[in-house]
Every structure is written in C-alpha cells, then in structure tokens.
Structure 1
Amino acid sequence: MNRKKNDHCYDLDQMEKWLENYFLDPLTSYCDMTQFRIDLYETEKDWIVEAVLDDYKAANLSVKVEDMKLIITALKHPSASNERKERTIDFPFPIKNQKVCASFENGILEIFISKIEKGRGNNRFITLP
C-alpha cells in the first residue's frame, strides 16, 4: 500500500523515517540529560512535543516556530543568561504552515502541531496561556 500521497503537509514514510532517526540519534539522549527531556507523540490530528521543565515557570519559557524548526528556550531567571537551556527540533516539513499551540502545566510544556489545521505561514512565537 503506497502511503506517500495524503491530505497532510508531509510524506508519511518520510515522517516515520525522521522519527526513527530522531529517537536513535545519540545526541537526542545527550540533550535530554544536559538540557531538558523532550518526547514526541502522534495522534490522529496532531504532533505533540512534550518538554519536561520541572524547575521553570511559564513566564520564563519561549516557544518559537521557525520554518521547519521548533525552538524551546527556558531561563531559570530572566536576567541570568548562563542558566539558559534550549532545544531545537528540526521537522521534515515546514511547521510554520501549521496551527501550533502550547500549554504549560505541572512542569510539562506541551506543544501541539496540527496535522489538519493551517497556521499563519510565518515564523512566530507561540504564546503560553
């Protein structure tokens, strides 16, 4: 069964290969230990990125959509740049064209990238409620 053509903005086979490479990449495990842990999930309607940020407040987090990248930045204290931690997730398709929203609760940042709904089509910061 050929699954390459679909209604989504991405190729399913390409996405599966990207996920496999992401989870097998030793740099992913290293960044999980030295920066903060990230998990990726898929539902029927969304790609979900979860970041474990127990020691942070929502006001000290930023989420940026930039072309095919999702950039998560966390600062312990806004004035202490040496306590800055950042993770960049490179997607195999332009996420700036998709609806992206985020929430932060109990130390877990959840970012939802819609498979169905279109976004603004530009680079932007995502507001945390």
Structure 2
Amino acid sequence: MENEKQSNSSDFLEIDDWLNVLMEDPFAWYDEHLPIDLYETSRDYIIEIDVSDLSITDVKLTFCGHELTFACTVQKPNNEGEQPIEKNVMLPFYLNDKDIEADYENRIIEIKIKKYSSHPSGAFSFQIPHFKH
C-alpha cells in the first residue's frame, strides 16, 4: 500500500525531501564566488544568485528539464581579461511547464518560478537586459 502512495504522489513529496536535504546542508550550493539561495512562497519558488563579489559583464540563464544553468562572463582583477563561469542547479521539479521571471536589483539576480502555470514553455534561455555592475 505504501508503494502505491509513492508511485501516485506528485512533485510535492520530492520537493519536500529535496528541501529537507537542503536544510540539513545549507551550503549544498555554496560557492564562495557565487552564493545561490532557494526559498519558497505559497505561489513561487525563488532562486537568488548573489553576484555582488563579481564584476560581471554578461549573464545568460537557461532553463531545460530539471536544470537551471547560470552562465556569465567575469572581468578578472587588474583588467587581466575575462573569464566565463557556469553553474548548473538541478531542481526537483520540471521547469519547462512553469512561468519563470528573472530580475536584477542590488547585485542580486532573482528568479521566480510559478508553482502553477498555464503557459507551458519548453526549454528556453534569456539574457538579463542592460546588465550593469
């Protein structure tokens, strides 16, 4: 009987398990140059990427399946050129059927993923316009 419940369950049990693991290890996504935070409201999942320690010249976000890819170009110290950075984040829910918005303010990139969506989108990517550091 227990197996039937699990096989018929929705994403919510997976998300709950995934959030419990994240709460046990809050540094699971920690990167000293690119801290990423995830939290949830009643309507949205919210991912925040803190780019305050980086001199970023270009940002691209890609959403496909269960994966969010953050790619950017960073100006190296002392004008020694540029360096690409890419970070992949696996999420416990499918992104292609969600409404997703991104905003940049106070050196924080905020990505809002609607829990309930009426416009399935397929895989997509976009750049944050007028990105200024």
| Structure 2 gap segments, 5+ residues each | 76-80
User: Matched residues in 1 for 2:96 and 2:46: separation?
Assistant: 15
The alignment's TM-score, normalised by the length of structure 2, stands at: 0.73
SS in structure 1 at match of 2:117? strand
Pairwise CA distance, 1:96? 1.2
Question: Which of 44, 51, 54 matches 1:53?
Answer: 51
Total equivalences in the alignment? 118
Counterparts of residues 1-129 of structure 1 (less than 5 Å): 10-25=10-25, 28-29=28-29, 31-33=30-32, 35-54=33-52, 55-57=54-56, 60-77=58-75, 80=82, 83-129=83-129
Q: 1:90 to 1:120 in 2, by over 3 A?
A: same
User: Matched residues in 1 for 2:26 and 2:104: separation?
Assistant: 27
User: Deviation per CA, 1:25-80, whole angstroms, max 9, x where unpaired?
Assistant: 58725x422x40000010111000000001344x5111110111111112114x73
| Structure 1 gap segments, 5+ residues each | none
Maintained 8 Å contact 2:59/2:127? no
Pairwise CA distance, 1:126? 3.1
- The RMSD of aligned alpha carbons is 2.8
Pairwise CA distance, 1:13? 1.9
More helix by share: 1
SS in structure 1 at match of 2:128? coil
Identity of aligned residues (%): 24
Task: Give the structure with higher Rg (CA).
Answer: 2
Return the letter of the residue paired with 1:61: V
